[in-house]
């Protein structure tokens, strides 16, 4: 027996705003919860769901874990286009000490949580 990843859970201040960002970024549907939370579910039923739960805690420092995303199509132009799309949705570029040859772009969501776009 082994365990498998089923869901990525993220504590956020503004659930509605973050649900809009992450659902647009991932192409997921938003399922608002009864407790001010939200579940984001893949439209095709495949892959991890995302659970956004409200918190008043302040984010301090770099996340100790983060999601890595991959673009559906390959090539540098696809990655550049996806970075531009994510930036337009509200992401920002992040410098966590990368050198520029790692094979990923580091971004932050609108509340400052780091994530990577792999290429």
Using DSSP's 3-state secondary structure scheme, residue 53 falls into: strand
Strand 68-70's sheet: what is its strand order?
68-70, 114-118, 104-108, 92-93
* 64-99: pLDDT as tens digits: 899 999 998 877 789 999 999 999 999 999 998 888
pLDDT for 64: 85
CB within 8 A of 95, min separation 6: which ones? 106
List domains and CATH numbers for the chain.
1-56 (3.10.180.10), 66-119 (3.10.180.10)
Residue 112's pLDDT is 96
pLDDT digits (tens, 9 = 90+) for 24-55: 999 999 999 999 999 999 999 998 999 999 99
Rounded to two decimals, the pTM is 0.92
């Amino acid at each position: 027996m082994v365990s498998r990843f089923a869901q990525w859970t993220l504590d956020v201040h503004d659930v509605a705003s973050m649900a809009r960002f992450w659902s647009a970024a991932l192409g997921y549907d938003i399922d608002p919860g009864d407790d001010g939370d939200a579940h984001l579910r893949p439209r095709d039923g495949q892959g991890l769901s995302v659970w956004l739960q409200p918190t008043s805690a302040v984010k301090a420092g770099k996340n100790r874990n983060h999601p890595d995303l991959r673009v559906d199509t390959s090539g540098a132009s696809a990655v550049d286009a996806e970075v531009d799309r994510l930036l337009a949705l509200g992401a920002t570029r992040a410098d966590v000490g990368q050198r520029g040859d790692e094979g990923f772009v580091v971004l932050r969501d609108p509340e400052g949580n780091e994530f990577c776009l792999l290429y």
